């Protein structure tokens, strides 16, 4: 025998069914053959991402600097390139500093960096004139622990497209 009970209506409040917004970012990259640096600003319009109530996405700022230091004869095919880099990012109260160094010999790149109080990052990449294929692994050092997270794996592919500019100079477009 079944017992019948009263079922109350839900107290859940439903938000909007659809939501859209415009979000803009801007950045500047400066570089020479040896040095590079830049800044970027993301979420300039701070769009509202809230479903039930208002929730503005805070603006994010990032800045980076680096260098390509040559070891050996520049005209030699056995030149080693060492690239120290520094990346800083901030979004609201969150701040991250990521110093790193990459070494490139012929078509192979090896790198290591440290994300402040969070992870060691190792990278391995193969690059020719047109293509770069890379693998990165983040080893978690924070309280989360690598045993709990398993770290993080990333595979990247960059295709270099050359196009001619007026006056015959060649510029490179990087697609990531």
pLDDT at 176: 43
The residue written with tokens 């859940």 in the block is: 12
CA–CA–CA angle 97, 99, 104 (5° rounding): 150
Cβ-proximal residues to 84 (8 Å cutoff; 6+ apart), any chain = 66, 67, 69, 99, 100, 101
Q: Which two tokens stand for residue 176?
A: 């990531």
Lowest mean pLDDT among 31-40, 43-52, 95-104, 115-124: 43-52
pLDDT, tens digit, for every residue of 107-147?
A: 999 999 998 888 899 999 999 989 999 999 999 888 776 66
Compute the distance between CA of residue 78 and CA of residue 145 in angstroms, rounded to an integer.
Answer: 40
Compute the distance between CA of residue 92 and CA of residue 166 in angstroms, rounded to an integer.
Answer: 43
pLDDT class of 49 with cuts at 50, 70, 90: confident
CB 47 within 8 A of CB 25: no
pTM across the whole model = 0.72
pLDDT at 13: 63
Structure-model confidence comparison of residues 19 and 23, the more confident one: 23
């Amino acid at each position: 025998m079944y017992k019948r009970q009263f079922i109350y209506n839900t107290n859940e409040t439903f938000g909007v069914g659809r939501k859209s917004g415009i979000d803009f970012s801007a950045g500047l990259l400066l570089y020479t053959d040896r040095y590079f640096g830049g800044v970027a600003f993301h979420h300039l319009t701070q769009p509202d991402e809230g479903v039930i109530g208002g929730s503005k996405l805070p603006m994010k700022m990032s800045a980076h600097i680096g260098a390509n230091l040559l070891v050996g004869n520049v005209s030699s095919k056995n030149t080693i390139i060492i690239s120290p880099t520094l990346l800083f990012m901030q979004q609201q109260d969150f701040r991250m500093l990521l110093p790193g160094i990459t070494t490139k010999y012929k078509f192979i790149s090896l790198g290591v960096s440290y994300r402040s109080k969070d992870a060691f990052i190792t990278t391995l990449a193969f690059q020719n004139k047109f293509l770069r294929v890379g693998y990165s692994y983040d080893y978690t050092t924070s309280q989360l622990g690598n045993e709990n997270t398993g770290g993080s794996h990333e595979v990247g592919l960059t295709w270099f497209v050359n196009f001619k500019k007026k006056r015959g100079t060649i510029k490179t477009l990087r697609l990531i």
